[in-house]
Amino acid sequence: MSVWTVYILLLKASLTSFSGLGSLPMVRQDFVVTAHALTDHQLNTAVAAGRTGPGPYGLYLVCVGFLAAGIPGAIAGFLALITPAFLVIPLMWWIGKRADHPRVRGAIRGLLLAAAGLLLSAAMPLTQDALTGPFALAVIVASFGLLTFTKIDSAWLMAGAAAAGLATLLF
């Protein structure tokens, strides 16, 4: 896959998402399903690598670029990640004047609901790839419960899951 194609596909995903992982369905469709440049396992790896480090949740786009086209792909992913930031100021000026209009608010709510549905549809195949046995299922259920019903920071949750995984390898 060419570096230019990686940049354009990741830019498209970055421009059309409202949150870091909101672009995941589009990235999966473009890189896994259509172009076959990545597997679901590689996409899971990119998401995990992007989430473990500090920075925005969309940082996984750099990892996707790297897996698709090496170092030049990682640079293309980084550029695709930061390009929308340069477009925010004129966009906010334009939307700011219209933000109180009921149609604009309704459109924004509709887009958020559509993004949530797309994220769910992309998460299912990735979850199936990550679900490798009873231990993985227990970690998924425990993580969901802790994130849903407590105020635990996700970094502590990942550290605990990593420690549990290491403990199963040692014993």
* Cα 105-109-113 angle, rounded to 5 deg: 170
Q: Give the per-residue pLDDT at 109.
A: 85
Range with the largest mean pLDDT of 16-20, 50-54, 130-134: 130-134
Between 89 and 37, the more confident residue is 37
pLDDT of residue 21 exceeding 90: no
User: Is residue 96 scored above 80 in pLDDT?
Assistant: no
Residue pLDDT, tens place only, 44-90:
999 988 888 777 778 899 999 999 999 999 999 999 988 888 887 78
Q: Is 70 exceeded by the pLDDT of residue 18?
A: no
Rounded Cα distance, 41 and 148, in Å = 25
Predicted pLDDT at 19: 64
Report the pLDDT averaged over residues 151-158: 88
Cα(150)–Cα(109) distance, rounded to whole angstroms?
Answer: 27
pLDDT reading at 2 higher than 80: yes
Q: In the predicted model, what is the mean pLDDT of residues 23-52?
A: 92
What the block records as the tokens of 133 is 């046995």
DSSP H stretches of helix in 38-170: 40-52, 60-96, 102-130, 134-149, 154-170
